[in-house]
Protein backbone atom coordinates (compact mmCIF):
# COMPACT_ATOMS: atom_id res chain seq x y z
CA UNK A 1 0.00 0.00 0.00
CA UNK A 2 1.22 3.54 -0.70
CA UNK A 3 2.12 5.65 2.31
CA UNK A 4 -0.31 8.13 3.82
CA UNK A 5 1.63 11.05 2.35
CA UNK A 6 1.76 9.38 -1.08
CA UNK A 7 -2.00 8.87 -0.95
CA UNK A 8 -2.52 12.57 -0.26
CA UNK A 9 -0.17 13.55 -3.05
CA UNK A 10 -2.07 11.33 -5.49
CA UNK A 11 -5.31 13.10 -4.55
CA UNK A 12 -3.91 16.64 -4.82
CA UNK A 13 -6.84 17.75 -7.00
CA UNK A 14 -8.93 17.85 -3.82
CA UNK A 15 -8.20 19.40 -0.43
CA UNK A 16 -11.49 18.38 1.15
CA UNK A 17 -11.66 15.95 4.05
CA UNK A 18 -15.09 14.87 5.25
CA UNK A 19 -15.21 14.41 9.00
CA UNK A 20 -17.39 11.53 10.17
CA UNK A 21 -18.78 12.68 13.54
CA UNK A 22 -22.07 10.76 13.79
CA UNK A 23 -24.65 12.12 16.22
CA UNK A 24 -27.69 9.79 16.19
CA UNK A 25 -29.98 12.57 17.43
CA UNK A 26 -29.35 14.34 14.11
CA UNK A 27 -29.94 11.33 11.85
CA UNK A 28 -32.74 11.61 9.29
CA UNK A 29 -36.22 10.21 9.56
CA UNK A 30 -36.71 6.87 11.28
CA UNK A 31 -32.97 6.65 12.01
CA UNK A 32 -33.11 9.61 14.41
CA UNK A 33 -31.78 8.61 17.83
CA UNK A 34 -30.85 5.09 16.73
CA UNK A 35 -27.15 4.42 17.41
CA UNK A 36 -27.37 1.10 15.59
CA UNK A 37 -27.62 3.14 12.37
CA UNK A 38 -24.24 4.88 12.79
CA UNK A 39 -22.61 2.70 10.15
CA UNK A 40 -25.52 3.04 7.74
CA UNK A 41 -25.54 6.84 8.05
CA UNK A 42 -21.78 7.25 7.68
CA UNK A 43 -21.55 4.72 4.85
CA UNK A 44 -24.21 6.66 2.94
CA UNK A 45 -22.15 9.84 3.34
CA UNK A 46 -19.02 8.01 2.17
CA UNK A 47 -20.80 6.59 -0.86
CA UNK A 48 -22.09 10.04 -1.80
CA UNK A 49 -18.79 11.91 -1.42
CA UNK A 50 -15.81 9.57 -1.85
CA UNK A 51 -14.97 10.83 -5.35
CA UNK A 52 -14.76 14.42 -4.05
CA UNK A 53 -12.36 14.07 -1.12
CA UNK A 54 -8.70 13.61 -0.28
CA UNK A 55 -9.48 11.91 3.04
CA UNK A 56 -12.14 10.82 5.51
CA UNK A 57 -11.73 11.54 9.23
CA UNK A 58 -13.87 9.51 11.64
CA UNK A 59 -13.83 10.87 15.20
CA UNK A 60 -13.49 7.90 17.52
CA UNK A 61 -15.42 9.41 20.44
CA UNK A 62 -18.62 9.61 18.40
CA UNK A 63 -18.44 5.85 17.95
CA UNK A 64 -17.12 4.79 21.35
CA UNK A 65 -19.72 6.84 23.23
CA UNK A 66 -22.41 4.67 21.65
CA UNK A 67 -20.54 1.35 21.98
CA UNK A 68 -20.18 1.46 18.21
CA UNK A 69 -16.51 0.58 17.78
CA UNK A 70 -17.53 -2.43 15.70
CA UNK A 71 -19.41 -0.07 13.40
CA UNK A 72 -16.27 2.05 13.11
CA UNK A 73 -14.26 -1.02 12.05
CA UNK A 74 -16.96 -1.84 9.51
CA UNK A 75 -17.02 1.75 8.24
CA UNK A 76 -13.26 1.99 7.70
CA UNK A 77 -13.31 -1.34 5.88
CA UNK A 78 -16.10 0.04 3.70
CA UNK A 79 -14.08 3.16 2.88
CA UNK A 80 -11.10 1.04 1.88
CA UNK A 81 -13.35 -1.06 -0.34
CA UNK A 82 -15.26 1.70 -2.18
CA UNK A 83 -12.44 4.26 -2.22
CA UNK A 84 -9.17 2.30 -1.97
CA UNK A 85 -6.98 5.32 -2.69
CA UNK A 86 -8.58 7.61 -0.12
CA UNK A 87 -6.80 7.63 3.26
CA UNK A 88 -8.63 7.35 6.57
CA UNK A 89 -7.47 9.62 9.38
CA UNK A 90 -8.56 8.29 12.77
CA UNK A 91 -9.21 11.37 14.88
CA UNK A 92 -8.28 10.04 18.31
CA UNK A 93 -5.88 12.68 19.71
CA UNK A 94 -4.02 10.05 21.71
CA UNK A 95 -1.12 11.08 23.93
CA UNK A 96 0.75 8.63 26.12
CA UNK A 97 4.16 6.97 26.40
CA UNK A 98 5.80 3.57 26.34
CA UNK A 99 3.77 0.39 26.19
CA UNK A 100 0.49 2.34 26.39
CA UNK A 101 1.35 4.32 23.26
CA UNK A 102 2.26 1.04 21.56
CA UNK A 103 -1.24 -0.23 22.30
CA UNK A 104 -2.88 2.94 21.01
CA UNK A 105 -0.83 2.64 17.83
CA UNK A 106 -1.93 -0.96 17.42
CA UNK A 107 -5.54 0.12 17.96
CA UNK A 108 -5.32 2.74 15.21
CA UNK A 109 -3.35 0.84 12.62
CA UNK A 110 -4.10 -2.84 13.25
CA UNK A 111 -7.59 -2.93 14.75
CA UNK A 112 -9.08 -0.04 12.78
CA UNK A 113 -6.75 -0.16 9.77
CA UNK A 114 -6.50 3.63 9.67
CA UNK A 115 -3.92 5.29 7.43
CA UNK A 116 -3.14 8.07 9.92
CA UNK A 117 -4.04 9.11 13.45
CA UNK A 118 -4.18 12.43 15.29
CA UNK A 119 -1.98 12.72 18.37
CA UNK A 120 -1.45 15.10 21.27
CA UNK A 121 2.33 15.66 21.57
CA UNK A 122 2.22 17.22 25.06
CA UNK A 123 4.25 14.33 26.54
CA UNK A 124 7.03 14.70 23.99
CA UNK A 125 8.59 12.63 21.24
CA UNK A 126 8.43 9.33 23.10
CA UNK A 127 4.63 9.63 22.98
CA UNK A 128 4.85 9.90 19.16
CA UNK A 129 7.62 7.42 18.37
CA UNK A 130 5.61 4.16 18.71
CA UNK A 131 3.32 5.24 15.87
CA UNK A 132 6.29 5.71 13.56
CA UNK A 133 7.08 2.00 13.82
CA UNK A 134 4.21 1.43 11.38
CA UNK A 135 5.80 2.07 8.01
CA UNK A 136 3.94 4.50 5.81
CA UNK A 137 1.33 5.41 8.42
CA UNK A 138 0.74 9.06 9.31
CA UNK A 139 1.00 10.68 12.74
CA UNK A 140 -0.66 14.10 12.77
CA UNK A 141 0.26 16.23 15.77
CA UNK A 142 -1.92 18.89 17.35
CA UNK A 143 -0.04 22.13 16.79
CA UNK A 144 -2.23 25.26 16.75
CA UNK A 145 -5.79 24.29 17.52
CA UNK A 146 -8.87 26.40 16.87
CA UNK A 147 -10.37 26.23 20.37
CA UNK A 148 -10.10 29.32 22.58
CA UNK A 149 -8.26 27.40 25.30
CA UNK A 150 -5.45 26.61 22.88
CA UNK A 151 -3.96 29.98 23.78
CA UNK A 152 -3.31 28.71 27.32
CA UNK A 153 -0.34 26.66 26.07
CA UNK A 154 0.22 27.02 22.36
CA UNK A 155 0.86 30.77 22.33
CA UNK A 156 3.28 30.80 25.27
CA UNK A 157 6.91 31.67 24.53
CA UNK A 158 9.71 29.30 25.47
CA UNK A 159 12.37 31.24 27.35
CA UNK A 160 14.91 28.40 27.18
CA UNK A 161 14.81 28.03 23.38
CA UNK A 162 16.86 30.39 21.17
CA UNK A 163 14.63 33.11 19.77
CA UNK A 164 11.94 32.36 22.37
CA UNK A 165 9.47 30.84 19.92
CA UNK A 166 5.88 30.22 20.90
CA UNK A 167 5.13 26.62 21.78
CA UNK A 168 3.27 25.89 18.54
CA UNK A 169 6.18 27.31 16.53
CA UNK A 170 8.69 25.13 18.35
CA UNK A 171 6.54 22.07 17.78
CA UNK A 172 6.24 22.84 14.05
CA UNK A 173 10.02 23.14 13.82
CA UNK A 174 10.59 19.85 15.66
CA UNK A 175 8.03 18.05 13.49
CA UNK A 176 9.70 19.32 10.31
CA UNK A 177 13.20 18.37 11.49
CA UNK A 178 14.43 15.85 14.05
CA UNK A 179 11.07 14.30 14.94
CA UNK A 180 10.15 13.48 11.33
CA UNK A 181 12.51 10.55 10.98
CA UNK A 182 10.56 8.62 8.35
CA UNK A 183 8.55 11.38 6.70
CA UNK A 184 5.38 10.32 8.53
CA UNK A 185 4.41 13.45 10.48
CA UNK A 186 1.75 16.05 9.82
CA UNK A 187 0.32 18.92 11.84
CA UNK A 188 -3.14 20.09 12.89
CA UNK A 189 -3.76 23.83 12.55
CA UNK A 190 -7.22 25.35 12.99
CA UNK A 191 -8.89 27.17 10.10
CA UNK A 192 -9.86 30.04 12.36
CA UNK A 193 -6.21 31.16 12.63
CA UNK A 194 -4.96 31.77 9.06
CA UNK A 195 -2.02 33.82 10.36
CA UNK A 196 -0.81 30.87 12.40
CA UNK A 197 -1.39 28.54 9.44
CA UNK A 198 1.00 30.69 7.42
CA UNK A 199 3.55 30.65 10.23
CA UNK A 200 3.34 26.86 10.59
CA UNK A 201 3.77 26.45 6.83
CA UNK A 202 6.85 28.68 6.98
CA UNK A 203 8.37 26.49 9.70
CA UNK A 204 7.17 23.16 8.26
CA UNK A 205 7.12 23.56 4.46
CA UNK A 206 7.05 19.82 3.69
CA UNK A 207 4.49 18.51 6.17
CA UNK A 208 0.82 17.77 5.43
CA UNK A 209 -1.47 20.14 7.30
CA UNK A 210 -4.83 18.95 8.62
CA UNK A 211 -7.03 22.02 8.99
CA UNK A 212 -10.38 21.60 10.78
CA UNK A 213 -12.89 24.40 11.17
CA UNK A 214 -14.19 25.20 7.68
CA UNK A 215 -17.97 25.04 7.52
CA UNK A 216 -19.97 25.05 10.75
CA UNK A 217 -17.05 26.50 12.74
CA UNK A 218 -16.77 29.48 10.41
CA UNK A 219 -13.24 29.15 9.02
CA UNK A 220 -12.67 30.97 5.73
CA UNK A 221 -11.73 28.54 2.97
CA UNK A 222 -9.96 31.06 0.73
CA UNK A 223 -7.89 32.38 3.63
CA UNK A 224 -6.86 28.85 4.61
CA UNK A 225 -5.69 27.99 1.09
CA UNK A 226 -3.74 31.22 0.75
CA UNK A 227 -2.09 30.82 4.15
CA UNK A 228 -1.15 27.17 3.64
CA UNK A 229 0.44 27.61 0.22
CA UNK A 230 1.11 24.71 -2.11
CA UNK A 231 4.41 23.23 -0.95
CA UNK A 232 2.83 20.19 0.72
CA UNK A 233 -0.57 18.49 1.06
CA UNK A 234 -3.41 20.48 2.60
CA UNK A 235 -6.31 18.54 4.14
CA UNK A 236 -9.22 20.80 5.07
CA UNK A 237 -11.87 19.12 7.18
CA UNK A 238 -15.58 19.83 7.22
CA UNK A 239 -17.92 17.70 9.30
CA UNK A 240 -21.30 19.01 10.47
CA UNK A 241 -21.98 21.26 7.50
CA UNK A 242 -21.77 18.23 5.20
CA UNK A 243 -23.16 15.47 7.42
CA UNK A 244 -26.27 17.34 8.46
CA UNK A 245 -26.99 19.37 5.34
CA UNK A 246 -30.46 17.79 5.39
CA UNK A 247 -32.53 15.91 7.94
CA UNK A 248 -34.66 14.36 5.24
CA UNK A 249 -34.39 11.35 2.96
CA UNK A 250 -32.19 13.41 0.63
CA UNK A 251 -29.49 13.74 3.31
CA UNK A 252 -26.81 11.96 1.24
CA UNK A 253 -27.56 13.96 -1.90
CA UNK A 254 -27.49 17.22 0.06
CA UNK A 255 -24.24 16.15 1.72
CA UNK A 256 -22.75 15.66 -1.73
CA UNK A 257 -23.91 19.09 -2.86
CA UNK A 258 -22.32 20.80 0.14
CA UNK A 259 -19.15 18.74 -0.29
CA UNK A 260 -18.93 19.80 -3.95
CA UNK A 261 -19.31 23.46 -3.02
CA UNK A 262 -16.75 23.18 -0.21
CA UNK A 263 -14.26 21.41 -2.47
CA UNK A 264 -14.68 24.16 -5.09
CA UNK A 265 -14.02 26.84 -2.47
CA UNK A 266 -10.67 25.20 -1.68
CA UNK A 267 -9.18 25.37 -5.17
Between CA 24 and CA 131 the distance in angstroms is 31
For 47, the enclosing helix (H) or strand (E) is helix 38-49
Contact present, 7 and 115 (Cβ < 8 Å): yes
Closest CA to 116 of 39, 40, 21, 183: 183
148 is catalytic: no
Between CA 76 and CA 74 the distance in angstroms is 6
Kindly give, in sequence order, each residue whose CB lies less than 8 Å from that of residue 177, ignoring residues fewer than 6 positions away.
Answer: none
Instruction: Tell me which of 37, 93, 137, 148 is the catalytic residue.
Output: 93
Please state at what angle helix 38-49 crosses helix 251-265, rounded to 10 degrees: 50
Catalytic residue IDs: 93
Amino acid sequence: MPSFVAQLQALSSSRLCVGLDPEPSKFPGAWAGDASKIYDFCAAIVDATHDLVCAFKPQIAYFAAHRAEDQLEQLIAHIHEVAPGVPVILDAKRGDIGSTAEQYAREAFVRYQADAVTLSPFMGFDSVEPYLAYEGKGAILLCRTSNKGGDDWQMQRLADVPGQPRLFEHLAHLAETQWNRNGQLGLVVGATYPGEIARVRELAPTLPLLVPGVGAQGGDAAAVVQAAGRTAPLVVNSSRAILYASAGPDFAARARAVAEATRASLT
